[in-house]
């Protein structure tokens, strides 16, 4: 029998909701079937496993988000503008799909080369352009001499860590989901300001 696109869309929407509420590990196929208003056998007909379903959702998220990130790197913005834009775009995206960082970390540890090829569709980010920009802005006296990899790691880790540690942060602070999202909205500015001040001359 032919697969119905409307049913498939209902499943994907239900899966996004369940993954958002329970994470990849906590989500069950029965939960997704119930949310989509179908039986589990029908769900398995469309998607054989939870991992296959999640991978499709992740591919959609990556397909929407990665071009934005590549465009930031490739733009003619100043380094400070790129840092501000990246922090804003990255945190905004992960607030909507908080299960993605854990999934990425798991997949990178399981199949690093294969996963990165899929993620970037055999195209690596334009790292050399960023390196040249760092060198140029250092020569112009705009920024201190900075190791490109260290700068990238600083930006990524400061943006990603709160999402990875979200359960711990919420338990320690008593913060609910709304409070966490409000904190992350502030963090868009906090992270970019901290990084920029650390490299500005």
Q: For 82-134, give the DSSP string.
A: HHHHHHHHHHHHHHH-TTHHHHHHHHHHHSHHHHHHHHHTT----HHHHHHHH
Per CATH, the homologous superfamily of domain 1-48 is: Homeodomain-like (1.10.10.60)
Q: What is the C-alpha end-to-end distance of the chain, expressed in Å? A: 65
| pLDDT in the model for residue 1 | 44
Query: What pTM was computed for the model?
Result: 0.77
Domain boundaries, the chain: 1-48, 59-199
Residue 89 has what pLDDT?
A: 93
Q: What is the pLDDT of residue 200?
A: 95
| Domains 1-48 and 59-199 alike in fold | no
Splitting the chain (201 residues) into consecutive groups of 10 residues, what average pLDDT does each group show? 73 88 83 94 92 84 81 91 95 86 77 75 74 93 93 94 93 95 96 97 91
Q: For residue 166, which of 64, 97, 73 has the smallest C-alpha distance?
A: 97
Q: 59-199: which CATH topology?
A: Tetracycline Repressor; domain 2 (1.10.357)
């Amino acid at each position: 029998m032919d697969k119905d696109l409307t049913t498939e869309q209902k499943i994907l929407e239900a899966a996004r909701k369940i993954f958002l509420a329970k994470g990849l590990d906590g989500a069950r196929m029965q939960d997704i079937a119930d949310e989509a208003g179908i039986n589990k056998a029908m769900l398995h007909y469309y998607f054989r496993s939870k991992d296959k379903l999640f991978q499709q959702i992740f591919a959609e998220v990556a397909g929407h988000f990665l071009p934005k990130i590549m465009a930031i790197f490739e733009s003619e913005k100043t380094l400070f503008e790129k840092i501000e834009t990246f922090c804003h775009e990255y945190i905004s995206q992960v607030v909507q799909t908080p299960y993605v960082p854990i999934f990425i970390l798991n997949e990178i540890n399981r199949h690093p080369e294969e996963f990165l090829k899929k993620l970037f569709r055999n195209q690596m980010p334009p790292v050399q352009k960023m390196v040249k920009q760092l060198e140029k802005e250092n020569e112009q006296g705009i920024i201190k001499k900075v190791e490109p990899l260290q700068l990238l790691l600083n930006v990524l880790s400061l943006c990603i860590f709160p999402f990875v540690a979200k359960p711990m942060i919420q338990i320690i602070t008593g913060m609910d989901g709304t409070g966490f999202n409000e904190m992350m909205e502030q963090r868009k500015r906090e992270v970019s300001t901290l990084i920029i001040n650390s490299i500005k001359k």
